[in-house]
Amino acid sequence: MSTLDTWEQRPELADVEAAVRTLIRWAGEDPEREGLRATPERVARAYQAFFAGYQENPAELLATTFEEGGDFEDIVLVRDIRFESHCEHHLVPIVGVAHVAYLPAKRVVGLSKIARVVDAFARRMQIQERLTSQIAETIHQVLQPRGVAVVIEAQHMCMTTRGVYKPGSTTVTQRWIGRLRTDANLRNDFWQGVGSRSRDGT
């Protein structure tokens, strides 16, 4: 995915606000109306928060690991990590939860770092399939565990508020690496930990 490397390469704030005013006019409103006068600035600030992930290096978030796990060899699972992202096709929200597990190889990482990796990738323009793979591959490459599993369940506003208008529909994506891909018993342990025993984890 091609991205701009620095803030210096990006448009000036005045250009962003002008673009928002254009969108407001295109929608049929007057950007100079009292209630909308400060909207372009607010939208610019909101976009900085929505897409803050471009300013983070997810791999660096996992750089500090610990050996205090000793001989712990079972699954480490952080489930129900809530995230907000934006569909790159319509720039509308994707809201969901990620369940992330890894099978340590001697070293473990702080649990909050797993959630931060999810956020670092989610706060970009995304599709759910790529988001799932990016989280899993980064954990695999940096921690080099014996296995990784990432399952994401999310609602896409591009499906629920426009287009086919299907509120309540949920998209589920999965990425399995190493022993969590090849060992059916470990996959079953993962699903039991997530609390989704009825799903097929293969």
For the chain, the average pLDDT equals 90
What is the reported pLDDT for 5? 56
Q: What share of the chain is helix, strand, coil (3-state, %, to 5)?
A: 45, 25, 30
Q: How many helices (H) and strands (E) does the chain have?
A: 8, 7
Looking at the fold, whether 168 and 133 belong to one and the same domain comes out as yes
- Mean local confidence (pLDDT), 17-38: 97
How confident is residue 167, by pLDDT bands cut at 50, 70 and 90? confident
- Mean local confidence (pLDDT), 28-40: 97
What is the reported pLDDT for 70? 61
Looking at the fold, whether 94 and 43 belong to one and the same domain comes out as no
Q: Where are the alpha helices (DSSP H) in 51-198?
A: 58-61, 111-122, 128-143, 157-160, 179-182, 184-194
Q: How far is the C-alpha of 30 from the C-alpha of 26, rounded, in Å?
A: 9
The domain containing residue 84 runs over which residues?
65-194
What's the sign of the alpha-carbon dihedral 167, 117, 55, 173?
A: negative
Looking at the fold, whether 96 and 160 belong to one and the same domain comes out as yes
Residue 179 lies in a domain: yes
- Mean local confidence (pLDDT), 24-50: 96
Looking at the fold, whether 151 and 85 belong to one and the same domain comes out as yes
Lowest-confidence range among 75-79, 110-114, 160-164, 166-170?
160-164
What is the reported pLDDT for 159? 85
Residue 202 lies in a domain: no
Residue 59 lies in a domain: no
Does 111 score more than 70 pLDDT?
Answer: yes
Percent of the chain's residues with pLDDT above 70: 91
What is the reported pLDDT for 1? 46
Looking at the fold, whether 101 and 139 belong to one and the same domain comes out as yes
Q: How far is the C-alpha of 59 from the C-alpha of 70, rounded, in Å?
A: 23
Q: What does the pLDDT look like over 123-147, one tens digit per residue?
A: 999 999 999 999 999 999 999 999 9
Looking at the fold, whether 77 and 17 belong to one and the same domain comes out as no
Residue bearing the bigger pLDDT, 159 or 41: 41
Residue 201 lies in a domain: no
H or E segment at 150? strand 147-156
Q: How far is the C-alpha of 98 from the C-alpha of 181, rounded, in Å?
A: 17
Residue bearing the bigger pLDDT, 3 or 178: 178
Residue bearing the bigger pLDDT, 175 or 158: 175
What is the reported pLDDT for 202? 41
Q: How far is the C-alpha of 187 from the C-alpha of 194, rounded, in Å?
A: 11
Q: Which are the catalytic amino acids?
A: 87-90, 128, 156, 158
Evaluate whether 114 touches 150 at the Cβ level (below 8 Å): no
Looking at the fold, whether 94 and 38 belong to one and the same domain comes out as no
What is the reported pLDDT for 8? 63
- Mean local confidence (pLDDT), 22-50: 96
Q: What does the pLDDT look like over 48-70, one tens digit per residue?
A: 999 999 999 999 999 988 876 66
Looking at the fold, whether 136 and 181 belong to one and the same domain comes out as yes
